[in-house]
Amino acid sequence: MVDILATPFLWVVATIALYVVAYWGYGKWIDRNVWRSDAKKATPAHMYMDGVEYFPVSRYVLWGYQFKSVAALGPILGPFIGITFGWLPALLWIIGGNFFIGWLQDYGSMMLSVRKEGRSFGPITYEFTGAKGRTNLLAFVLFYLIIISATFIALIASFWNAFPGTFVATLGILLAGLLCGQLLYRIKMNVFAVTGIGLALVVLSIYLGVLFPISLPWGAWNLPVWAFICAIILYAAAVLPTPMFIQPTNYLAFYPAYAAIILILVGAVITPFTNTTIQMPAGPFLFDPQGILGPIWPILFVAIACGAISGWHSLVSSSSSSKQLDIETDALPVGGGAMLSEGLLALASLIAYMVLAPSFFVGRTNVTAWVQGAVVLTTPMLGGLTAAVLRTFFGLVLIIYALTVQALVTRFFRLVAGETWGESRFRALGNKHVSTVVGLGVPWGFAVSGSWWALWLYFGGANQLLAGLAIMLITIHLARVRAPTRYSLIPGVFMVVTTLSALVWQTGTFLYSVWAYLQNDNTWVLRNVRGPIQTDPNLLIVAVAINGIFVVVGAVLFAVGVSMAIRLFRSYSRSVAEARGKAPAAADGGTREEESP
């Protein structure tokens, strides 16, 4: 057995122990003393039960649903950029983010929605900040969705390009999903039989992927072509009825995706027995030694988003989950528990990177690193399978995570666009097909032109800013009912300030790149783009234009974020001032206020 200190084992154990303290110590304390959850209080699931949107669901089912809805590519790829500053800062942020902020946001969003009759964040924002605040949130979410889409399309294209076996495997799963949809809903076949057939087809797809690897012959143009194919698949997913395509495909994709998580977690725990040691350095801590990303603050805190805290989770927590919570005390295991479990996924992914040589991370372009790390961790357990099969399997898992979430995001964009423009002068943009084309075309443009890490930092910035805004909404509610606010106010202020700073840094980087070009230095402009634009000297002006567009995108995100933050901080100040004039109350929706003289 290898020296246990040289393996990630102790870090895994220590992190899990801290998560246990976060849940049973800090979490229970906040639940009891700040929110004062009450198992006897009627939840919206009981008050408004309609058997469709509002109905009580067991905490186990809801935990599974919540975890599946929040766990995606974020905790897997975030640590890839975060490890730039060394694995120790990345690990500390994953632990600290989960411990003090992540679970608090997911749980708080759920409790806030429960206390507000199961309403989602749109109406709550309207109540706290007025009509302009809600419009502001809508604009922010639209930009946020475009950035997510660009990032995920760029990554899917990169994965297909890097792992030749994965395209056939992906197609196989999509076709298996279509077939299972028909078997389930048209032929009405038994769900277990359909699952058996579907899983056999998934295994066959991976096998065929290994047998028939596909590589495109167009060199630098491969990525734009892969991204275009991805956009076509997403278009079909967004406009076809969900039972026909998205639902059965997501259902089948669930099995390999979660099998991979379990395999990697087990692989990480048994590293002392498999002689798998840490290869990456713990530092350098403060700056990116390659001079690409910038300082550890604020970059690390937006690079590792979903594995530590994520704004997307607040939307999920306040959407379906809060309407189906059986009793208030279930909010902690469902909201907080699911977030801490995602923290485990981030930990497993970080360990997959820690066991790789530093050369994998030169230039931040090697998106295959997670797959290589997963193969290193799991090969000792699955020695019978060849590296080619494992690479195809883990590569496919990455694509599945990105594709299934992106299909939902594209659909959501279409619905938001319909809501925004459906009744306005620009009602053509609310049309199902037009909005889907816009929601995929613009991100495709970003995906094929900007480098993926630049997009990722914008995505992380927007996502984390949404998280900060969600925590501020929670804080406003707590202030209104005179519950302690400091436990959410401090993380909220930290997230808002950090993410706005990250957006300024990123926007400044693009602005500096354009300025450097004007001073006859092309390196910065070319560094921020990819594919044919980076390599073809004739396309230099396009690279400059793309940098300029990214300046505008960053500036708009920043302006909308600042505007939203100001509204929320003003609302918080008003709420504190109003609450001071009232009798003591609790975070129970204000009932004690009404009872007081």
- Which one among 201, 316, 356, 560 touches another protein, defined by CB under 8 A? 316
With binding defined as CB under 8 A, does residue 129 bind another protein? no
The letter for the amino acid at 8 is P
Distance CA 138, CA 140 (A): 5
Among 333, 352, 338, 337, CA closest to 265: 352
State in angstroms the smallest separation of the CB of 432 from another protein.
14
With binding defined as CB under 8 A, does residue 58 bind another protein? yes
Distances (CA, A) of 229 to 19, 205, 597: 41, 18, 65
Q: What angle do CA 229, 230, 232 make, to 5 degrees?
A: 65
Residue among 64 and 284 whose Cβ is closer to another protein:
64
With binding defined as CB under 8 A, does residue 121 bind another protein? yes
Residue among 279 and 431 whose Cβ is closer to another protein:
431
With binding defined as CB under 8 A, does residue 421 bind another protein? no
SS (H, E, C) 122-183: HHHHHHHHHHHHHHHHHHHHHHHHHHHHHHHHHHHHHHHHHCCCHHHHHHHHHHHHHHHHHH
State in angstroms the smallest separation of the CB of 417 from another protein.
9
- Which one among 2, 36, 41, 53 touches another protein, defined by CB under 8 A? 53
With binding defined as CB under 8 A, does residue 515 bind another protein? no
Near another protein by CB under 8 A, which window of 66-74, 76-84, 198-206, 271-279?
Answer: 66-74
Question: Rounded to a whole number, what is the distance in angstroms from the first to the last CA of the chain?
Answer: 70
With binding defined as CB under 8 A, does residue 196 bind another protein? no
Write out the two tokens for 591. Answer: 């009932």
- Which one among 135, 247, 277, 366 touches another protein, defined by CB under 8 A? 247
Residue among 184 and 278 whose Cβ is closer to another protein:
184
- Which one among 36, 46, 68, 570 touches another protein, defined by CB under 8 A? 68
Distance CA 597, CA 589 (A): 17
Q: Which residues are CB-contacts of 216 (< 8 A; sequence separation ≥ 6)? A: 161, 222, 225, 226
Angle between helix axes 87-96 and 74-82 (nearest 10 degrees) is 140
With binding defined as CB under 8 A, does residue 315 bind another protein? yes
CB of 412 within 8 A of CB of 238? no
Residue among 25 and 241 whose Cβ is closer to another protein:
241
Site string for another protein, 254-293 (x = CB under 8 A): xx--x-----------------------------------
Over its C-alpha atoms, the chain yields an Rg (Å, rounded) of: 24
> DSSP assignment, residue 327?
S
With binding defined as CB under 8 A, does residue 242 bind another protein? yes
With binding defined as CB under 8 A, does residue 408 bind another protein? yes
With binding defined as CB under 8 A, does residue 412 bind another protein? yes
Near another protein by CB under 8 A, which window of 83-91, 253-261, 365-373, 490-498?
Answer: 253-261
Interface residues with another protein (CB under 8 A) are 48, 50-53, 57-69, 119-123, 137-138, 141, 241-243, 247, 250-251, 254-255, 258, 315-316, 318-320, 408, 412, 415-416, 419-420
